[in-house]
Structure 1
Amino acid sequence: MRRVVVKVGSAVLTENDAIALERMRTLVDFLFELRKTNEVILVSSGAVAAGYTELKLDRSVLQNKQALASIGQPILMNKYSKKFATYDILTAQILVTAANFNIEDESRKIKDTVDTLLSNGVIPIINENDATTTKELVVGDNDQLSAYVAKHTASNLLIILSDIDAYYDKDPRKFSDAKILKIVNSIDKEELEKEANPNSTFATGGILTKLKAANYLLTYGIDMVLTSGYDLSDIKSLMLENRHIGGTLFTKAG
């Protein structure tokens, strides 16, 4: 069975400083359908945003962000747990940092845990350990983290559900004639060196971190899809009906 990592960003999971519950519900509905023919791992942002719903701290201060993450993590997991429970699906939380994947023994243990959960019908929900790490909070590298997860769990595909619905030949916010690049086999070096430009209060990456994640996975022959997390019709068409209508597929395949 194919193993798929689905990463959902803060911009998708939050709206007006609150968890976007309807979007979360739609995501869970999709994952329920997806897991009928795939093993599914979820990488979810949103802990800081969830914490902010309960305590309005200044998010520009790193220590506050870490505190908000520690408050928000159980809130986020509780909401996921309740929504997956409607399908009698058990969830589990795994907190990691990018550094965990740089140590062979630690990355192997993560994979062992994921393997055990999946073999027992549990959906692993992975998030960066924002409460104790600083790099991901500063750099906003959950996209890269999800790429590490895909690689080190021997997954076949990473799906990034984002406020960015695809990779374009030029910035669609500046150029009305920008066109979606539906299939990308390689990424130009200069594209990977551009400055990140996040779109949301809680998002810290933008297109750059998605391209870096895709580039990392391409070197290992793992595919990645970048598509909208607001409207899941494109990813449903691709994954459930094998019809590529929207979004970008990064792949080494011809």
Structure 2
Amino acid sequence: MRSAVAGAQRIVVKIGSSSLTVRGGRLATERIDALVDVLAERRKAGAQIVLVSSGAIAAGIAPLGLSRRPRDLATQQASASVGQMLLVARYAASFERYGLTVGQVLLTADDMIRRAHYRNASRNFERLLELGVVPIVNENDAVATDEIRFGDNDRLAALVAHLLRADALVLLSDVDGLYSGDPRQPGARLVSTVLSAADLNDVVAGSVGASGVGTGGMASKVAAAQVATSAGVHVVLTSAPRAADALAGADVGTYFAPTGRRLPTRLLWLRHATTPRGHLVLDDGAVEAVVSRRASLLSAGITAVSGDFVAGDPVDLVSSAGMSVARGLVAYDASELPPLLGKSTHAVGPKYRREVVHRDDLALL
């Protein structure tokens, strides 16, 4: 199964802050060069490479005279503004040794949540790759807020893999793979292969691997792997020094096998890159129609509405037991729906006889 990674033609590689910086926030140029050596070799072999790189906030710590990673949002944004310049300049210089050009792509969660932004990002990536550029991706920490963030670049990398319909995602950390428990404790074993969620039943994925300069721990990497594999992407989680072996399909780190099939980009976006603005509670018959028969959602099957949304916003469709079964783009404003609940299309005026959520705008969860 790891041979699929070795043969991948479009690869997303994510590396964390702790693998790029040394104590005090200074960029470790020798580590960046070592990573670029590996990626450039794969790029020269014909593969398309997209690098999701953390490190902007960490790289700004030393130039700003800070003693540690800032905790308040304003100082984080300031540190990212300074550090991002240094980070990309270092990558540009390193890739230039191989005659390769890099391009900076800064994203916020809003770019994934809003359909128009998502499509624009997709077009930009595709054109950069067509031109032979290596995109360097990071969250736009200089403008991102606490309310609208990816939270960590592991999730961002998984969503970028979705966006690009990548063949493989390689998550590089300061830990050499997923362990059954804290690898610093006796008895913890390396989990070599994850074929399904059942293989994670005995795994305790906490914050091991998180450092004073990063935000992601092992749990976030496992969650990112599950997002990517659900759409057919092969994932390897290992340490940065083993990047070459991971890309070559060697038995290093933890391999996550695809658990789902590739879906249309629109449904991938809807399922994984949107945040619901409200909830529609369905009766049992409507749940059956939506989930089993893949039917559109009609007003007759809705028992309750919550949230503040407008037509075109994503909403979750929830069973009477409180389980989210699907996400879709709603055709009505929240204020329009209460008078329609439980009524058939024949019992409402002509203006309200369209589907509440059309089946083409539905992604099962």
Could you list the runs of 5+ residues in structure 2 that have no partner in the other structure?
A: 1-7, 260-365
Per the normalisation by structure 1, the TM-score is 0.89
Worse overlay, 196-205 or 95-104:
196-205
Matches within 5 A, 1:24-173: 24-35=32-43, 36-57=45-66, 59-135=70-146, 140-173=151-184
If asked which structure has higher relative contact order (CA below 8 Å, sep 6+), I would say 1
Could you tell me how far apart the structure 2 residues matched to 1:73 and 1:170 are?
34
Asked if the contact 2:12–2:49 (Cα under 8 Å) also holds between the matched residues in 1, the reply is: yes
What SS class does the counterpart of residue 23 from structure 1 fall into? helix
Rg larger in 1 or in 2? 2
Report deviation, 1:122. Answer: 0.6
Worse overlay, 118-127 or 191-200:
191-200
- Cα offsets for 1:122-160 (capped at 9, x unmatched): 100010000111249987411001101100111111111
Could you tell me how far apart the structure 2 residues matched to 1:228 and 1:193 are?
19
Asked if the contact 1:139–1:205 (Cα under 8 Å) also holds between the matched residues in 2, the reply is: no
Matches within 5 A, 1:182-197: 182-187=192-197, 196-197=207-208
Asked if the contact 2:238–2:246 (Cα under 8 Å) also holds between the matched residues in 1, the reply is: no
1:15 aligns with: 22
- Cα offsets for 1:144-183 (capped at 9, x unmatched): 01101100111111111101210112221122x3221111
Q: In the superposition, relative to structure 1, how do residues 251 and 160 fare at CA in structure 2: closer, same or farther (>3 Å)? A: same
Q: In the superposition, relative to structure 1, how do residues 156 and 54 fare at CA in structure 2: closer, same or farther (>3 Å)? A: same
Report deviation, 1:6. Answer: 0.5
1:252 aligns with: 258
- The reply on whether 1:203 has 2:210 as its aligned counterpart is no
Report deviation, 1:192. Answer: 9.5
| Amino acid in the other structure paired with 2:13 | V
- Cα offsets for 1:13-45 (capped at 9, x unmatched): 001221011100000000011112311000000
What SS class does the counterpart of residue 80 from structure 1 fall into? helix
Q: In the superposition, relative to structure 1, how do residues 217 and 210 fare at CA in structure 2: closer, same or farther (>3 Å)? A: same
1:180 aligns with: 190
Could you tell me how far apart the structure 2 residues matched to 1:150 and 1:159 are?
10
Could you tell me how far apart the structure 2 residues matched to 1:178 and 1:60 are?
32
Could you list the runs of 5+ residues in structure 1 that have no partner in the other structure?
A: none
Could you tell me how far apart the structure 2 residues matched to 1:96 and 1:190 are?
33
Could you tell me how far apart the structure 1 residues matched to 2:209 and 2:65 are?
21
Could you tell me how far apart the structure 2 residues matched to 1:63 and 1:169 are?
37
Per the normalisation by structure 2, the TM-score is 0.63
Report deviation, 1:98. Answer: 2.3
RMSD: 2.3
Could you tell me how far apart the structure 2 residues matched to 1:249 and 1:102 are?
29
| Amino acid in the other structure paired with 1:37 | G
Which has more helix, going by share of residues? Answer: 1
Q: In the superposition, relative to structure 1, how do residues 82 and 140 fare at CA in structure 2: closer, same or farther (>3 Å)? A: same
Could you tell me how far apart the structure 2 residues matched to 1:108 and 1:39 are?
20
Could you tell me how far apart the structure 2 residues matched to 1:183 and 1:168 are?
11
Could you tell me how far apart the structure 1 residues matched to 2:81 and 2:40 are?
28
Report deviation, 1:198. Answer: 5.2
2:263 aligns with: none
Asked if the contact 1:186–1:215 (Cα under 8 Å) also holds between the matched residues in 2, the reply is: no
Aligned residues: 247
Identity of aligned residues (%): 37
